[in-house]
Structure 1
Amino acid sequence: MTALEQLWRAPTAQRDLTGHVLPGRRPSHWRTSFAVLTETAAMAAPAWAVLSARGQPVALPTAALAALAWAGVRAVRGRFTAGPQGSTAGATAVIGDWLVLVGLLAVAWAVAGDAVDPTVALVSAAPGGVVTATVTWAVRRRARAAHRRPALRVLVVGDASDVDTVAGALGPRAQSEGYAVVAAVTVGAAEPEHQLPVTGRLRADGTDDDVSTVLAGAYAYDADLVLVAPGPLLRGDRLRRLGWGLHDGGVALCVLSALTGTATARIRPASVAGMTLLHVAPPLRRGPQPALKAALDRSGALAGLLLLAPLLLVVALGVRLSSRGPVFHRQIRHGRHDRPFTMWKFRTMVVDAESRKAELTMANEGDGPLFKMRRDPRVTGIGRALRRLSIDELPQLFNVLRGDMSLVGPRPPLPEEAAEYDDRERRRLAVKPGLTGLWQVSGRSDLSWKESVSLDLWYVDNWSVSTDMGLLARTVRAVTDGRGAY
């Protein structure tokens, strides 16, 4: 046996590999085909029936186009595929898909001119397509639940700080997505803060048998996956040899990338001169998607104001009669590129709320520059109801129509908040602030300042029109739930 083979050979202890299958499972092609055909038919049939009844000259081609576009949107957005645990998007994602379809058909209608009037067909096809998509999702989810695999058992390898980072990130939420950290192997003598079983330690100088130590821990805790966090003491040829031993030992290897907060759609791997490179596409700032976002913002805000006009009038009357003061509350906020603008909201506090803020400083429940109170005494009775349902934010549709804000984006900060931003936090101002966003659908005021900033920075770097549509759909559920709204 050569010296190289002795260095990376697997330990003599063997394990039964028959019960440990790598992530994922064989796709059920007949279920996927059935879902595609069912949803396509449910979209095409009512559209064709209505268009034919109205005497449209191209009823069948129009209905077929709408049905194929629906199937295409669902396929592109991954609704017919499964994730690590065999999970697909929830029922609320169907609404986001429907909004994307409406946008596509609106463009097609504009190109076709007056050849066909698909408005009535679009409305009539909505119940069939959306309901059928929701039902097929529920059926597939139930079928997957009967065959769901447990979370992948993960052994983390790295220095103590990296082990803590991975263990903190792969918490209960990540377990529901397919990962559960069961133990760790540390590099060096430092102890991790997380209460994880440490099955062994790798010497800093790399003179011991890394493979035997890591495989022993993987076998002892029945790990399906070894997640390596590379660092100064574990990289290059040492990491490569560890990979050889893990693969020969029947354990899957995953290497943690230093690129955090970057969507996988922006990353393209490449191999150059024996090196593995990750090309990272820049965030969307110019091109057709920002132009489409601007068009959707203006048209969506206008449609929202027209459709919600009766509700806005009723709320305005309620605010005016419930307490002394104006109907609207105007605030200076900072928008894209730190430009100030006047933001509109329904008034939910007493008239002298700003002057009383100093009295409540000691009761502030927020961290960072934000001021938060679950039971703020300045909030009026009707204001609490408006905040819980986020109705107080609806006048910001005027800001969206003016171009100061977007339908989706980071939260617009107050001037005193923006003044405290560091360079990292100031990147939130690289895009227009939004009426809703990741912060809205992820807990709103229940989030810490650090969590809010991380969500906003992820959006700033990785947004797309498709992402915006999905967030608009998820906003409906977040508003109904009311969590974090105070």
Structure 2
Amino acid sequence: MVKQAKGSWAMATIDSSASAGSAPVTTDVAPSGRVRRVRRTSSRRDWEQGYVDRLRITDVVVVVAAVATAHFVRFGAADVDVSFTSASYTILSFGLAALWIVFLSIFRTRSPRVVSTGAEEYRRIISATFQLFGVIAILALVLRLDIARGYLAIALPTGLIALLGSRWLWRRHITRARSHGRYQTSVIIVGSRSSAMSMARSFTRDPSSGYAVVGMCLPEYQADAAHRVNDGALTVDGFDIPVFGTEHDVLTAIEESGADTVAVTATDHMGHNGIRKMIWDLEKKNVDLVVAPGVVDVAGPRLHMRPVAGLPLIHVEKPQYNGASRFGKTFFDLVFAVTALLAISPVLLVVAAAVKLTSKGPVLYRSERMGLDGRPFQMIKFRSMVVDADKQVADLLARNESDGGVLFKMRDDPRITKVGKIMRRLSIDELPQFVNVLRREMSIVGPRPPLRREVETYDGEVRRRLLVKPGVTGLWQVSGRSDLSWEETVRLDLSYVENWSMTGDMLIVFKTLRAVLGSDGAY
């Protein structure tokens, strides 16, 4: 994607090389401001293979270090024999490290399809690790090997945590690189104008996805046949994206832009034969094809591909609000809340004293919020504003900075105390909400707790936020907090309600720590 240039010829560049050595995407822009030509001189596979190779090296280092640590902590420098065998633990350690690396490969933890995006990469690492140690336990039982439990008890968590940590660091690296235009996948979008622009807008708003749209092919494109390619552009969020022609010009578009992926959305106009022909054509050019099913904000775990009568049908499972999933979430909430309250109890005492000594009024502030199924409850927070701050809202509505007018936000709210500003920046004022979790009024992760006046404005779609308990943290907390518009807050909350899972909750908890430490969007 390229920014529009005016007045003179310009060269816009998207560097897709990172440290892997691939060349940039370049786009010529005409004096009229229209994008004239896009080309890319290297393939995504150049940087992708280098990235996977570095992951492989990191995995080997992490696994060997974890196994060596377990051996040293349990046995020291001695070379101890495994009971009932002539093999030593040194040999066993080499075998364990080798098997661990093999299992990571078998479970395709370094597949380009999963690395750096979503929770699937982490899930595969966890599955590979536990499957490995399960196999070891079975072999030890069958062969009657008395392997030291302490040795395995150290190796498993050490290696697993280190593997997950190393992948998280690599993700941070690739996210930063993508924000600067590196590690990009060049995409041609094929679909109707509205669908194509919607997809392009999604990619543009999320640079960490790594998809750079270098062109479109629109069925309704009616340019003259002699000038069909590169004869126009659509502006998406300030970026001009060239239109190469119709769906029949995809191969020409690939040649001109050097794209390595074609994304198809709203496929009815192409028909079965059109899609099949495109698949065959792209196979010859070694270009990937992705198809958007048109299902918005539904995560992968709910989507299942099942062939029916020779047709590849995507089945969308119902959200898991009840049963064993809800029991597991409740158990996690209670254990986490108890652990957190015990760990932060000294902080709670210090903050309570600071609030009491610096301003008049109670230490805690109770605010009515709407919980599961719209039932009201009293949410507890440390008081960060002056007494009777709620009564001053009417006088400040004219200075509301929230888009949409449903929420009330002010970056420099005069009602906030000096201690309150510090608490809000670090989200310390929200720590007493763990008590609400113990009272089963809130969850650790969930939608933002809404006010009654907000719920009264909900339509049928937005009311789906009330199908689960509100959370101490959530997608809104790790995606901008107070900087989010009302529409974006609703979209994130609905996405969470539709797709929540325990793995997703754990990732949000870890991201919350990063967001809180960075004070992103807090005021």
Name the TM tier (shorter chain): 0.7 to 0.9
Residue in 2 that maps onto 1:168:
201
Give the letter aligned to residue 377 of structure 2.
Answer: F
> Partners in 1 of 2:104 and 2:255 — Cα distance?
39
Alignment of 1:254 onto 2:273: no
1:179 to 191, 211, 217: 211
Q: Is the 8 A contact 1:39 1:132 kept in 2?
A: no
Tell me the CA shift for residue 131 of structure 1.
Answer: 6.4
Q: Is the 8 A contact 2:187 2:213 kept in 1?
A: yes
Q: Is the 8 A contact 1:387 1:485 kept in 2?
A: yes
The C-alpha deviation readout for 1:90-123, integer Å capped at 9, x for no partner, is 9xx99x98xx99xxxxxxxxxxxxxxxx99x999
Q: What secondary structure sits across from 1:420 in the alignment?
A: coil
Tell me the CA shift for residue 149 of structure 1.
Answer: 7.8
The C-alpha deviation readout for 1:359-382, integer Å capped at 9, x for no partner, is 111111112311111111111111
> Partners in 2 of 1:426 and 1:378 — Cα distance?
30
The C-alpha deviation readout for 1:181-201, integer Å capped at 9, x for no partner, is 011122215984425343433
Give the letter aligned to residue 270 of structure 1.
Answer: R
Q: Which has the higher contact order (CA 8 A, sep 6+)?
A: 1
Give the letter aligned to residue 305 of structure 1.
Answer: L
> Partners in 2 of 1:41 and 1:236 — Cα distance?
55
> Partners in 2 of 1:143 and 1:183 — Cα distance?
23
Alignment of 1:188 onto 2:220: yes
Following superposition of structure 1 onto structure 2, how do residues 238-277 of structure 1 map, counting pairs within 5 Å?
238-277=274-313
2:187 to 154, 162, 166: 154
Identity of aligned residues (%): 38
> Partners in 2 of 1:359 and 1:139 — Cα distance?
49
> Partners in 2 of 1:24 and 1:436 — Cα distance?
34
Q: Is the 8 A contact 1:186 1:198 kept in 2?
A: no
Alignment of 1:347 onto 2:383: yes
TM normalised by structure 1 equals 0.75
Q: Is the 8 A contact 2:63 2:159 kept in 1?
A: no
Q: Is the 8 A contact 2:44 2:183 kept in 1?
A: no
Alignment of 1:431 onto 2:455: no
Tell me the CA shift for residue 265 of structure 1.
Answer: 2.1
Residue in 2 that maps onto 1:314:
350
Change (3 A) 1:302 1:86: closer
Residue in 1 that maps onto 2:59:
32
Residue in 2 that maps onto 1:8:
none
Which ranges of structure 1 fall in alignment gaps of 5 or more residues?
A: 1-14, 50-59, 102-117, 203-209
Give the letter aligned to residue 333 of structure 2.
Answer: D
Change (3 A) 1:249 1:302: closer
The C-alpha deviation readout for 1:301-325, integer Å capped at 9, x for no partner, is 1222222222111111111121111
Give the letter aligned to residue 317 of structure 2.
Answer: A
2:315 to 279, 291, 294: 279
Tell me the CA shift for residue 346 of structure 1.
Answer: 0.6
Q: What secondary structure sits across from 2:332 in the alignment?
A: helix
Give the letter aligned to residue 237 of structure 1.
Answer: N
The C-alpha deviation readout for 1:338-395, integer Å capped at 9, x for no partner, is 1111111111111121111011111111123111111111111110100111110011
Which ranges of structure 2 fall in alignment gaps of 5 or more residues?
A: 1-38, 77-88, 131-148, 223-232
Tell me the CA shift for residue 329 of structure 1.
Answer: 0.8
> Partners in 2 of 1:225 and 1:129 — Cα distance?
33
Following superposition of structure 1 onto structure 2, how do residues 63-462 of structure 1 map, counting pairs within 5 Å?
80-81=109-110, 83=112, 87=116, 134=165, 150-171=183-204, 173-174=206-207, 176-189=208-221, 192-194=234-236, 195-202=239-246, 210-211=247-248, 213-368=249-404, 369-462=406-499
Change (3 A) 1:461 1:415: same
Q: What secondary structure sits across from 2:362 in the alignment?
A: coil
Tell me the CA shift for residue 45 of structure 1.
Answer: 5.2
> Partners in 2 of 1:292 and 1:270 — Cα distance?
28
Q: Is the 8 A contact 1:23 1:84 kept in 2?
A: no
> Partners in 2 of 1:144 and 1:193 — Cα distance?
25
Following superposition of structure 1 onto structure 2, how do residues 455-474 of structure 1 map, counting pairs within 5 Å?
455-474=492-511
Tell me the CA shift for residue 75 of structure 1.
Answer: 6.5
Q: Is the 8 A contact 1:159 1:187 kept in 2?
A: yes
Q: Is the 8 A contact 1:154 1:179 kept in 2?
A: yes
> Partners in 2 of 1:451 and 1:43 — Cα distance?
47
> Partners in 1 of 2:299 and 2:389 — Cα distance?
41
Tell me the CA shift for residue 31 of structure 1.
Answer: 5.0
Give the letter aligned to residue 225 of structure 1.
Answer: T
Give the letter aligned to residue 288 of structure 1.
Answer: A
> Partners in 2 of 1:452 and 1:140 — Cα distance?
25
> Partners in 1 of 2:347 and 2:422 — Cα distance?
14
> Partners in 2 of 1:125 and 1:216 — Cα distance?
52
Change (3 A) 1:415 1:124: farther
> Partners in 2 of 1:265 and 1:22 — Cα distance?
30
> Partners in 2 of 1:280 and 1:23 — Cα distance?
34
| RMSD after superposition | 4.2
Q: Is the 8 A contact 1:24 1:86 kept in 2?
A: no
> Partners in 2 of 1:293 and 1:228 — Cα distance?
37
Q: Is the 8 A contact 2:41 2:258 kept in 1?
A: no
> Partners in 2 of 1:301 and 1:80 — Cα distance?
32
Q: What secondary structure sits across from 1:475 in the alignment?
A: helix
> Partners in 2 of 1:429 and 1:462 — Cα distance?
14
TM normalised by structure 2 equals 0.70
